[in-house]
Structure 1
């Protein structure tokens, strides 16, 4: 019991403590701070956007202040004279007269020049406000009083670095053209390079192409030759004063000239240039935010000296390196390589080509070896299949001979037996007309079976010998099939099977060998009757399907297994080859049907399910005979006799 009380007390203690902590957090408010960020250009400048992103991300991490960032844009590219700057200052004073600005951040030179005098203007609302500057390229010299309120990051990067980089990477370059806009930043770059060009590792002629507009830049770039290179340092506008995205500008440069392109601006890094030493705006923003928090925490500005701004990075484009055959060995260590896939090697082009050749040879040898092994296995497998097939065919032929012997012997035995019976009856002078007619009918039926067997053997022999002839003529195939069905109804009735004929069209004229098509359909009908049980149903259905005529013979008989369907048209094949099978047949009927249909450029589709029935669908193209061949020979049998012959396997 005491243990339970102790446990309940502990739970209550933890719950109360948790509640107190929540209430304390709810009542605690972060100290509010207002920071004014003044950008030199407009809201679309990629460098300043990147700096601002770094500032915002770093300030969000702090848990001491509720910081409100107020962002302003000087837009100095449009106007930067004294009158405009004075009005801009007055606008800021008016706008923030009722707001206590705790700290000011200036980004790039123009905003620094505009706001720094206000720090020491005793009549200004910004008097003695801390100022942190970033991206200033001019020399900054602060008095002791100025150091109490102004600090920031100075540009320690030597502008000659990228020029020296180009001459190391491409030793054949003779002229380097620097593309500048008319900003203070670019003017300062131009001045620095002119004054310090004597410090270059290797002499190279430097040209300046300066304009705010792309068209003017492109017109001069067109004149450059293959021994020249370009450094992009500015951001340019189209004729409607819209800034052009770096990637589009680079693409336009490539359309007018094939000279190698470099830049010291991070916004051009992924635009298709070779590369360069670039300031990362976001990195500068993060460093600025850390300095801001230090000042907000109470650190005297004078104790935070001017600091070299965060170092840039060497960035290169993997694809452009190889497009311009840059020697990888000369790329500075620690460089960031963009657009390089995981499997791609950063090695000299000649070494890369050698590796590609070696891998190609190895790959070729491997593929060749695998092909040889595959072909050998395939040939071995083929030989095995041929051996198995040969054995199967040999077995089929053996079975066929046995079956044919049985097929011949059965009707012969019947005929012989009937003849002996009749002979005995005659010797006893016993004459019964009905009895005689019945036995003669049996003799005729079995004679027809023998005739059909012999005809099939002759037909197969002709196929084997390649002696095959069709006599085509144009007929109404609907009438032909309907007549076959009508003549077969009596044979279906003998097994009490319902035989139905239906057609969508009454006339479809096409070119066929009439006798052979009759034989094929009769064979399929005979099989349907033979393998359909008593009281079953057989449907013969015809329709025109585009340029074909479809003849479907569907029964609800015994059906067959799916794996048997592909084999039923093989010569000598029988689903049941045993001598005790319930239905007669030689196993060559469907083979003959298939050959007949193929001779008419048609095919047979078979759909079957065991114990559910089968559907044989003949598909014949509808066509006209080029030259009608009339069969002028006199047929030995009437059509009824042909039907009787094909149906001879059906027991009465």
Structure 2
């Protein structure tokens, strides 16, 4: 073993001991997810691989994933590979890793070579490769454990872009490193030479160190040449990689030829741009592929169609620097360093456009005066039109809604009456039959009475004629009595009704009849829109100088677009799709509810989520009155009277 190998081996052993604490944390993870080890060919600083990891991690919600990097760009030797795999073996041998994902060729080759080594933790693990450039031919044994995504290297679109963007270009210099990725690009380039839109010559500069690349770039002419930069390079005096900005600036020092690229980091560093690989999207696809493999619904290689993971991206500053025509770049290209008013046009067209814009601004200033003069009249006319349309819509809604609500109970009353008359004429006085039809008549008469009362009350509220008969009452007892009236009805629909209070007595001035209407209306809605087996909760509490009444259910909820208008006339909590009505109701109830609460100087709010339920929160200020206006003419029967009327439209639920 030579000195270099010994040094690499010692460094690897040092990494092993440094990494052992981390493996302990990984082994002790008890979160229950499947464990995945991701091995990158390069380093955390590599933008391509880091974007893959970001796409994977942002999708990942079920796996425990760890990442290691081979750093093949810097350290390349058989001894280093062996040391690295031994380092991983010590670190993860007790981790129960189930799946291994390799990024790019070098990491995959290393894992593939050791897949059937019984002494290593990767022995017969499921391996998923991504970003692989070479065509892979798996043995029968390997195909049981290995699958993944082959990266399709297709450079013809960017070649055509280079030739079109600068008409004088006839020579393309391909700058590569010695990686498998770059070798694949070089091989693919030889196949597209006769397929481009116009003839061109290509030259290859393939080196490991940037010093050698820069030296050869001195030979590149400026006018008829373009550079296609695909590799990453080492510093000649160090093992570190040269930063993208230094690569771009170094090439610009020796040649004025435009620099196109396949790597995104070079675009941000100052290259013109190119069709780059979208690592983030590949990361998302990798996560999906892993899921399919875990669920055993996928077991073959993926060869992406052309441009599956490609994005045309260009640097606007570089486009100006090299005077490149943006109109000849690919459609749907992404541009960096482009401000809001930067035009994607060639230089001569930009001059023409800005000249026309200046003249246009002068013309616009002249028109503004005339526009301002007519704007006020136009706005007034528009408001009148909107108001007219809204009035017509309200009128139409009113006619359609009230026609349905009056016709339905009326038809039931007429039909029931006709049946009773027929039975009477036939002398058939079946008591049960008569009682059932009479109940229909009574219930639907209550519905008609309720609709008519609602229409009258809406008019009173809008005209400001509705008044209140305030009397000091124990509002806790009032709410509890109201809640008890719906118990039997709720049981018919298998609903649980719960009443809760923090205090047994809270005395405040209310119009008892109107508060009973409010609570019964809200409870009626809760019954309508809560599925069988659901819950309806009513609670009363004191909060400073206010009574807080909450009526909640865990029903279907209210959609967001309807929530904002729920207290308007003719708005219903179940949206009508065509002519289908899921529950009866005129849409006036909540309008009246809010009006009554306003008469008590209170407030009503709603909290709701679709399919999670609805809560109405009523806040009424606590106050007392000394004089009682008048007695309730219905006496003790008022609650029964109101409950029969308010609950009369609950016939069935879908």
The normalised TM-score by structure 2 is 0.48
The normalised TM-score by structure 1 is 0.48
Could you say which structure has the larger radius of gyration? 1
